[in-house]
Amino acid sequence: MNTHLINNQWHVGLGPAFESINPSNGDVVWQGNGTNTDQVNSAIKAARAAQLQWADKPLEERIAILENFAAQLKEHSEEFATIIARETGKPLWETRTEVGAMTGKVAISVKAYHERTGTTENPMPGAKAFIRHKPHGVVAIFGPYNFPGHLPNGHIVPAILAGNTVVFKPSELTPHVAEFTLSLWLKAGLPAGVINLVQGEIETGKALASHKDIDGLFFTGSSNTGHLLHKQFAGHPGKILALEMGGNNPLIVKDVSDISAAVHDIIQSGFITSGQRCTCARRLFIEKSANGDAILEKLISATKNIVVDDSFATEQPFMGAMISEKAALGMVAAQSELVSKGAQILVELKQLKPGTGFVSPGIIDVTSITDMPDEEHFGPLIKVYRYTDFDSAIIEANNTSFGLSAGLLSDSEDDYTHFLKRIRAGIVNWNRPITGASSAAPFGGIGASGNHRASAYYAADYCAYPVASVESDKVSLPQTLAPGLVIE
């Protein structure tokens, strides 16, 4: 099977075999072999050979290829949404929005390129001062399985726009999505070597990340892997590493009059994509009050009514399957562990069908647990904390090594101002779900969630480095020389 794209040629993998499975029914979606180390080397060589020529192209030519890609995405949107749904288990309505986000990324990245990394010219006596931006060179891009199209695309598009060339290593759980993405780039007229695709499991990732001839690595994935990469990059200050990782995101609810609206925003925050978004609310803080009781009661009944079904069901479900049966069972086990620590199940998260990734959404009250693990449970399980005092809820919300997203549902603007000043996260929302971040804003977290290299609108920043120049079209002697200097 032709799996890897090197220098615009498809290659059969020479490494270990692997496959992807449709988590809704256990069907094999894709089979192939990963790369071996020689193939990873060849991909990097191809990217290196193509880089100068690509960066030398007039910007308009690079943009034209990106726009062709957006047109290809539009033309093949339904086919692509179907492929993503089959490989991830996400509902079709949602994978259609993923393809839409990929298409929109092109125009947003062009705008960001000009605004954040364009050329600035300032006059100065006898010369001009310029700020320009240059590409790093060859960058490795690693993607996760939950948005196998949109999130790698959020690195690839700004990277090549800036003049870098890329070696892309997708999640081993979503190889078909990656292959289809590259087939659209080829149709868009991508020159050879500009984006190379290497597929495989961890060994492929390790061979690429540790390669001496990459100039940087842009990563979206788990905090564990991101931390490993950070260690690996220690001692290489010349290489740029951009890390987008997970979160243990808090959502605090306080004094809301529209209880149904609050429940809606909690569900959108906690359960969209079966809880498999890095921005999902993992910890829900609800006041111990009549208002808090009413919100929790409505949340419990609405959660029990959430429709979980196949990606292609005629009546579209809110949630599809999780990425794999292993992930689904992992969530069941996480729930059991919390129960063993003293948590109380309010709505049980259950695997709905053996051999699949289908789980029902769960809510668990963890207020009485004293040794809560600071872990990202990457699935549809909301952990409820009942609180009596707003400030202690904010302190507990900040009691995490992560800092990706956070939110407050409250009718009071004063409460929000207070919360915004104190909460530590890269995305902080008020009376809106904490998922669904815009590509037109910076996106990233602090602490164990990232390394201050925000993506989305700010991805332009890590795709190029600034060059400051003072320029004059001829050398000229200054009118006044420095003391002690005589030039005759």
Stretch that binds ligand NAD, among 8-16, 64-72, 190-198, 241-249 (CB under 6 A): 241-249
The yes or no reply on residue 219 touching ligand L2THXQ4J (CB under 6 A) is no
The yes or no reply on residue 456 touching ligand L2THXQ4J (CB under 6 A) is yes
Q: Which partner, ligand L2THXQ4J, ligand NAD, none, binds residue 439 by CB below 5 to 8 Å per kind?
A: ligand L2THXQ4J
Q: Please enumerate, by residue number, every residue annotated as part of a binding site.
A: 221-226
The yes or no reply on residue 455 touching ligand L2THXQ4J (CB under 6 A) is yes
Q: Compute how many other C-beta atoms are within 10 angstroms of the C-beta atom of residue 289.
A: 14
115 annotated active-site = no
Encode the chain in three state secondary structure.
CEEEEECCEEEECCCCEEEEECCCCCCEEEEEECCCHHHHHHHHHHHHHHHHHHHHCCHHHHHHHHHHHHHHHHHCHHHHHHHHHHHHCCCHHHHHHHHHHHHHHHHHHHHHHHHHHCCEEEEECCEEEEEEEEECCEEEEECCCCCCCHHHHHHHHHHHHCCCEEEEECCCCCHHHHHHHHHHHHHCCCCCCCEEECCCCHHHHHHHHCCCCCCEEEEECCHHHHHHHHHHHCCCCCCEEEEECCCCEEEEEECCCCHHHHHHHHHHHHCHHHHCCCCCEEEEEEECCHHHHHHHHHHHHHHHCCCECCCCCCCCCCECCCCCHHHHHHHHHHHHHHHHCCCEEEECCCECCCCCCCECCEEEECCCCCCCCCCCCCCCEEEEEEECCHHHHHHHHCCCCCCCEEEEEECCHHHHHHHHHHCCCCEEEECCCCCCCCCCCEECCCHHHECCCCEECCHHHHHEEEEEEEECCCCCCCCCCCCCCCCC
String of contacts with ligand NAD for each residue 182-201, x by CB under 6 A:
--------------------
Q: Shortest gap between Cβ of 407 and ligand L2THXQ4J (angstroms)?
A: 11
User: Alpha-carbon distance 330 to 334, whole Å?
Assistant: 6
Token pair, residue 270, equals 């906690």
Catalytic choice (94, 172, 179, 244): 244
Q: Which partner, ligand L2THXQ4J, ligand NAD, none, binds residue 206 by CB below 5 to 8 Å per kind?
A: ligand NAD
Q: Please enumerate, by residue number, every residue annotated as part of a binding site for NAD(+).
A: 221-226
* Of the residues 90, 136, 169, 254, which one makes contact with ligand NAD according to CB under 6 A: 169
* Of the residues 34, 89, 135, 143, which one makes contact with ligand NAD according to CB under 6 A: 143
Catalytic choice (172, 278, 287, 325): 278
The yes or no reply on residue 174 touching ligand L2THXQ4J (CB under 6 A) is no
Could you say which residues in the range 346-405 bind ligand NAD, by CB under 6 A? 376, 378, 404
String of contacts with ligand L2THXQ4J for each residue 269-308, x by CB under 6 A:
--------xxx-----------------------------
Taken in order 298, 299, 303, 306, the sign of the CA dihedral is positive
325 annotated active-site = no
Parallel, antiparallel or unpaired: strands 216-220 and 240-244: parallel
Task: Rank residues 145 and 416 by Cβ distance to ligand NAD and give the closer one.
Answer: 145
The yes or no reply on residue 202 touching ligand NAD (CB under 6 A) is yes
The yes or no reply on residue 436 touching ligand L2THXQ4J (CB under 6 A) is yes
The yes or no reply on residue 84 touching ligand NAD (CB under 6 A) is no
* Of the residues 50, 138, 182, 245, which one makes contact with ligand NAD according to CB under 6 A: 245
Q: Shortest gap between Cβ of 155 and ligand NAD (angstroms)?
A: 10
Task: Rank residues 18 and 145 by Cβ distance to ligand L2THXQ4J and give the closer one.
Answer: 145
The yes or no reply on residue 209 touching ligand NAD (CB under 6 A) is yes
Residues β-bridged to residue 141: 168, 218
Q: Which partner, ligand NAD, ligand L2THXQ4J, none, binds residue 221 by CB below 5 to 8 Å per kind?
A: ligand NAD
Q: Which partner, ligand L2THXQ4J, ligand NAD, none, binds residue 225 by CB below 5 to 8 Å per kind?
A: ligand NAD
Task: Rank residues 209 and 256 by Cβ distance to ligand NAD and give the closer one.
Answer: 209
Sorted by sequence, the CB contacts under 8 Å of residue 206 that are 6+ apart come out as: none
Annotated catalytic residues are: 244, 278
Which residues are near ligand NAD by CB under 6 A?
A: 142-146, 151, 169-172, 202, 205-206, 209, 220-222, 225, 228, 244-246, 278, 376, 378, 404
Which residues are near ligand L2THXQ4J by CB under 6 A?
A: 146-147, 154, 277-279, 435-437, 439, 443, 455-456
